[in-house]
Structure formats: structure tokens, C-alpha cells
Copies of this chain bind each other. A is one copy, B any other.
Amino acid sequence: MPADPLDRSAAAPGPERAETGAEQETACQPDRFNRARAAQAATILEDYAEMIGDLIAEFGEARVTDIAHRMGVTHPTATKAVARLRREGLAISRPYRGIFLTDEGEALAGRVRARHRTVVDLLVAVGVPAETAEMDAEGMEHHVSRTTLRAFEDYLRQIDAPPGTESSSQD
């Protein structure tokens, strides 16, 4: 490393940092990160909603303990998450009773589940081992926009079609 890299006087080529033009060039950058942050914030709600949907499908209701167990958290954490779901109008519950999803919550859970499947399928389609695909999709899915999701679906549909059906060239 340089002798004194921390001395600004010799570091920056220009103090004004090319503010003309470079500013709007990097104007989209914060937006990207803000979108990523927003997606991350929605992640937990989406995961819990989907999980509750799964449990209801399996057992007819979702219990805090089961949610906590499957999410790998303690039960107070699950309780807090459920409280947030309630606040957002995604779930309903009564003290010491099971947790259920509102229509909105169910719709969300359905969308999340479908998206998850699509992401896993795409990963597998491009050569990711099934197990790894499941793992990675869990985190990735929350950042997949509608546009990207549709692109995935199109791609999967395309490669799903028999190769000889519509290939322009004989190959």
C-alpha cells in the first residue's frame, strides 16, 4: 500500500469530483439500493405469510410454536412477526388460538409460493443443483421484480417446449 494513503492532500485527483454529468449518471444508484432495502423489509412478512399458509394447508391452522419451529426462531420472535402481519392486515388471530390469514394474506402467500417455485425452476433450468436452488431461492426470490419473474416464466416456457417444435434452423 502507499506510504500515507490517508492523507487527502495527495489523494483525490480533483476535489470537485466531476459533478457535471457524473451526478445524474450515479443518480440511479441510491435508488437501486433503496429498492433492495425495501425488498429486504418485505422479506420477513412474505416468508411468515407463506409459512402460515403452508401450516394451514397441512394442519388447518397455524400455531406460533410451529411457525417458530419451521422458521428456525424462538416463539416470541414468531409472535412478533404475527403481530406485524396483523398490523398489516395479512393475518388474524385471537389470544391462545391459532393464526389465520386474511384474504389479502392468503393472496400474498400464494404469490410468494408461486414466485418461489418459478425461481427454483429457473435456477434448476440453468444448471443449479436442486438442493442448492432451494437454498438460494429462499433469499433471492424476494428481490425478483415482476418484470424479472415474467422473464423467468417466459424462459421456462420456452425451454419447456419441445426443442424441434419451433426452432428456425434445422440443427
Interface residues of A (CB under 8 A from B): 1, 5-8, 11-14, 17, 26, 29-36, 39-40, 43, 47, 58-61, 66, 69-73, 92-94, 97-98, 100, 122-123, 126-129, 132-136, 138-140, 142-145, 147-148, 151-152, 154-155, 163-164, 167, 171
B126 A152 Cβ-Cβ under 8 A = yes
B142 A139 Cβ-Cβ under 8 A = yes
A139 B36 Cβ-Cβ under 8 A = yes
A135 B145 Cβ-Cβ under 8 A = yes
How near does chain B come to A46, taking the closest CB pair, in angstroms?
Answer: 11
B126 A126 Cβ-Cβ under 8 A = yes
Question: Assuming A8-B98, A30-B69, is B128 touching A136 (CB within 8 A)?
Answer: no
How near does chain B come to A142, taking the closest CB pair, in angstroms?
Answer: 7
A29 B140 Cβ-Cβ under 8 A = no
Q: How far is the CA of A144 from the CA of B132 in the complex (A)?
A: 9
In the bound complex, residues from chain B placing their C-beta under 8 Å from that of A138 are: 32-33, 35-36, 143
Q: 30 A-B pairs, CB-CB below 8 angstroms?
A: A6-B92, A6-B98, A6-B100, A8-B98, A12-B60, A12-B61, A13-B59, A13-B60, A26-B69, A26-B70, A30-B71, A30-B72, A30-B73, A32-B138, A33-B73, A34-B72, A35-B139, A36-B43, A39-B139, A40-B43, A123-B151, A128-B152, A129-B151, A132-B145, A135-B145, A136-B143, A138-B143, A139-B140, A140-B140, A143-B143
A93 B6 Cβ-Cβ under 8 A = yes
